[in-house]
Amino acid sequence: MTVASKITSVLLLTTAVAADCANTLKPINDAKLANGWSYRPVATGFTKPRGIQFDKDGGLLVVDAKVGIFHLALKDDGDTCVTANKTTLLQNKGLTHGIALSEDGKTLYASTPTNVYAWSYDSKAIKLGGSNRTVISNMTNIDQVTRTLTMSSKIPGTLLVSQGSASDEDQNSLDKQSGHSQIRSFDLTKHTDSAYSFTDGDLIGWGLRNSVGVAEHPTTGGIWSVENSVDNLIRNNVDLHADNPGEELNYHGLVDKADDKDRGRNFGFPYCFTVWGTKNITDLGNLNVGDQVPDGLGPKDITDGVCNSQYAAPVLALQPHSAPLDIKFNKDGSTAYISFHGSFNSPNPVGYRIASISFKDGKPIAAHSSTDAAKDVITAADLSKCTKPANCLRPVGLALDAKGRLWFSSDSGEIFVMQKDPNASDGKGSTGTMLHPGWVTVSLAVILASFILV
């Protein structure tokens, strides 16, 4: 091959690969990425985007809290170079967070603080049916009102719904029939004429202050949740809230196994809380990270022993006040991604990140007492700026697309796509922000020079 033909070939390659991405959006806030990851905003201008869900035709559905539901038609030019065309599917100021699709993709579910509604949905026409029907009702408590929805893939037609507490001392959470602080499942194939009351559902877990993120493991079918614990913890008149209680990664067993010992367990709220920081708990005894202790507000007979023998402990403790709001598994279940929305009640800002936890055989690899199981994927570039949360990335909803790319919503009104280079080694990461196709020009220029010199 002549030098001229070599130059022509490389220039053509440079033009094809290094052309600027049509998506020129820039992130509102800076972020740090783990090694091998790139990211890019794909859509902006939302008010408070929460739950996100891919439909059968690759469109991304977004719940914008107190606004409605939007559809993003995506033009995919590879890697993170994706552009979006936004369509309003539904205007509804009552919607808060939850969104799910039926197994066939033809029914869309969304939630308000009191009800779960269903609409017929045509993903090709990008259109909802004219009217909705109520499928679950009587979720009436105030305070924690996200009402997360998760549709089982293992058991089509089974919808899981999480209802939080009414306060940090919610005594109704002690009563199964209150519906407070619970996750329940509903077989929507058997109940089509009238709505379920929330307490009609099968009890998956209770004693859960606010388990916003709920996911089904793709290979085992086990149900996992991430729990947002209380803001202030006092024990023996000592304020422990700087380093306690831990947020939680909890396991709830299998939806379709009524005799599963892990299904329907009580996780201790409002009396028992998870240890994270052991340094300032002077009477901890033999308890460790991940064990449970009572606060100073409950009955005297709720002791350390009671909390650890009569209530379920988390599989892993997570950093206090970091506010985990979603959990999603990759296709083979080897990794769980968790969005940590970020603190408002911590002496120093924490959270403001997405992290991954490694799984094997359907369970985390890390030990129960681990404090470093969650590895950063993306995090705010400077946590000190997060004393004003608007200055930082605040991840909420997560979704993975057919290519395995990770998508997330943020309080900044942005929707992002992330991709990991499969050849990248794990590491603490870089200070880079976005993958820009134009950067490839530099690399190809080096290749061009090497061709000329040959």
Does residue 256 form part of some domain?
yes
Per-residue pLDDT, 222: 99
DSSP line for 365-396: SS-TT-S--SEEEEEES-GGGGGSGGGS--EE
Q: Print the domain residue range for 372.
A: 31-426
Does residue 14 form part of some domain?
no
C-beta atoms surrounding 241 within 10 Å: 17
CA dihedral 314, 315, 320, 324 (to 10 degrees): -100
Plot region of 103 (φ>0 → left; ψ -120 to 50 → alpha; else → beta): alpha
For residue 307, give the H/E element and its range. Answer: helix 304-310
Structural domain total, the chain: 1
Mention every residue, 6+ apart, whose C-beta is less than 8 A from residue 124: 57
Does residue 39 form part of some domain?
yes
Does residue 136 form part of some domain?
yes
Does residue 440 form part of some domain?
no
Task: Give the side-chain half-sphere CA count within 13 A for 209.
Answer: 24
Does residue 5 form part of some domain?
no
Per-residue pLDDT, 454: 43
The three-state secondary structure class of 452 is helix
Q: Which CATH number covers residue 283?
A: 2.120.10.30
Task: Round the CA-based radius of gyration of the chain to a whole number and report it.
Answer: 23
Does residue 325 form part of some domain?
yes
Do 376 and 353 touch, CB atoms closer than 8 A?
yes
Does residue 433 form part of some domain?
no
> pLDDT per position in the chain (454 positions), as tens?
554 444 444 334 433 444 589 999 999 999 999 999 999 999 999 999 999 999 999 999 999 999 999 999 999 999 999 999 999 999 999 999 999 999 999 999 999 999 999 999 999 999 999 889 999 999 988 889 999 999 999 999 999 999 999 999 999 999 999 999 999 999 999 877 789 999 999 999 999 999 999 999 999 999 999 999 999 898 888 899 999 999 999 999 999 999 999 999 999 999 999 999 999 888 888 999 999 999 878 899 999 999 999 999 999 999 999 999 999 999 999 999 999 999 988 999 999 999 999 999 999 999 999 999 999 999 999 999 999 999 999 999 999 999 999 999 999 999 999 999 988 865 555 544 455 443 333 333 333 344 434 4
